[in-house]
Amino acid sequence: MSIRENLATNLRRLCKDHASVSAVCRELRINRTQFERYLQGQTVPNKATAKLICDYFKIDEAELYQDHGAAEPMVPGLPPISESLFKQLIRPPSPSIAGGTYLTYFSIPGRTDLLMRSVTFVRREAELVTFRRVTGWSERRGSTWARARGNHYGVAISRLNWIYFSGINRRQTGEPSLISVQWAPISEPVLTGRAMLLTESGPAFVSVIMRQEVAISSRNAIRMAHVVKLDDPSVDQLVVGLTRDGVD
């Protein structure tokens, strides 16, 4: 394929992991009409714009124009390492979680009066479950939660009745994160467990509570993704009770 066709194919593939092409354009601050020309293979970006796109998707410029239709190098008799690892990662059983929007609450070390509220978008495609977790999306100067921004993408897997959300932050340092939760033994459908996250003082293990929200738009959910006080009326009372009881 031509360079323009490779670019279009790669950009479409990269954008699939994001909420929408419009969201990508807003974050990149690139005109949507111009970006569509890249997606249609009509033109290629200049050097500065290409670097902006590569920094955003955390790829090298060579990968932006690479022909991914070519076979991955293999060791004779062995599958590609990436294929082997991915197959092991997503092997059955599939997580017992429905696709949708989940408000996700994290405890904050040393602050029992606060919670970090993120929003997790879960997507099911047959047996494959992927997710995107957003934290502190709309940065505010001088705020607490502006220092904990996150845009994690990854897969959810099930092992021994636990659901693991393994992801990579596509903003800032690109650090990994791991959340392990299971359905709480109560009548209400809520997931509780522990999370390994990067904080200002380094990696930390914190408590986490996830609950699906069916009557909320993606836009409103993202607006809620910031630090909240435990007595904030917008915080689900079940979450407040579980937090005070120390359930995880």
Cβ neighbour number for residue 208 with a 10 Å cutoff: 24
**What mean pLDDT value characterizes the chain?**
84
pLDDT tens digits, 38-81: 999 999 999 999 999 988 888 888 888 888 665 445 555 656 67
- What pLDDT is recorded for position 57? 84
**CB 103 within 8 Å of CB 214:** no
With b for 16 or more beta-carbon neighbours within 10 A and e for fewer, the 218-228 pattern comes to: eeebbebbbbb
Higher pLDDT residue, 147 or 208? 208
Q: How many CA atoms lie within 13 A of 141 on its CB side?
A: 0
- What pLDDT is recorded for position 138? 44
pTM: 0.66
- Taking each helix axis as running N to C, give the angle between helix 32-39 and helix 3-15, from 0 to 180 degrees, rounded to the nearest 10: 120
Q: In degrees, to the nearest 5, what angle opens at C-alpha 140 toward C-alphas 135 and 143?
A: 85
- What pLDDT is recorded for position 247? 61
